[in-house]
Amino acid sequence: MNDKHTTASRPAAGDAAVERARQLLDGGEPTLGELAAAVGLGPTALQRRFSARYGLSPAQYLAQRKLDALKAGLREGRDVSAALYDAGYGSPSRVYEAGAARLGMTPASYRAGGAGEEVRWSLVDTALGMALVATTRRGICMVELGNAPAGLEAKLRAEFPRARLQRVDAGRDEFLAPRLQAVAARLAGKRSDVPLDLLGTAFQKKVWDALMKIPAGETRSYAQLAAELGQPSAARAVASACASNKVAVLVPCHRVVRGDGSPGGYRWGLPLKRELLQREAAPG
């Protein structure tokens, strides 16, 4: 995977073609056929090599580039319509239809750092220690573990800097209370139905969806998970997506290990990862 070690002329040419394809995507919206013809590869070969290198297909890369451009424009305070068109969206209705799913809120709310979005949260003691649980009206958007209440709240505020953050004492909110109970049950290793509101790139969401399909008591290596996603060379991208997960345990990135069986990294610390794996592997 290290381009510097590729010395054969054919792989080097392929790497150059993939890099050229990325540059073309950064400058426009070519179709896969147009892109392949421009860089001298077949569409299938280009799709495979591009996905292996970047963890996204050319179409997914283009969609993410547009979304990133929209986010940047909104953060800079541009008018929503101008930011949409500058990012390459031909119709505002298209991004508004899918905007909540991809941005986690409407573009107007995202422009203001979450202004107008209501996020209710609380701290709860669980089988794994203190947890901050935050939810939008669509579902749980963050489960953060830690020992310092102030640090947990700071992470939430960094994620939603201008949202209406409403702290609710556990059990005193008809909306949040059952979700807190469901999250606490899941952190204790019990079954419970917890609606999620996951915010991430297209590739990250693919990884997180795949994680949630791994049965308790089983693990996958980063390479195995990449292969299951049809992108066998994207193990590093899979590891990065796992590290970006902000919903502890419910999105079970602890079930992904290194190829040699060692635990690998974990956002909430290796001791907890080992504890979770041992608990899930225990009979009964």
Contact (CB, 8 A) for 64 and 79: no
Residue 173 CB contacts under 8 Å (≥ 6 apart), including other chains: 120, 122
Which of the following is catalytic: 100, 134, 143, 253? 253
253 is catalytic: yes
What angle is formed at CA 104 by the lines to CA 273 and CA 48, rounded to 5 degrees? 70
Helix (H, G, I), strand (E, B) or coil at 247: strand
Task: Give the closest residue to 140 by CA, choosing from 67, 254, 249, 241.
Answer: 249
Q: How far apart are CA 276 and CA 256, in angstroms?
A: 12
User: HSE-up of 123 (CA within 13 Å, CB side)?
Assistant: 14
Q: How far apart are CA 52 and CA 78, in angstroms?
A: 35
Q: How many CB atoms sit inside 10 A of residue 91's CB?
A: 10
Structure tokens that stand for 156 in this block: 């939430």
Strand partners, 118: 164
Contact (CB, 8 A) for 99 and 82: no
Q: How far apart are CA 224 and CA 149, in angstroms?
A: 37
List active site positions: 253
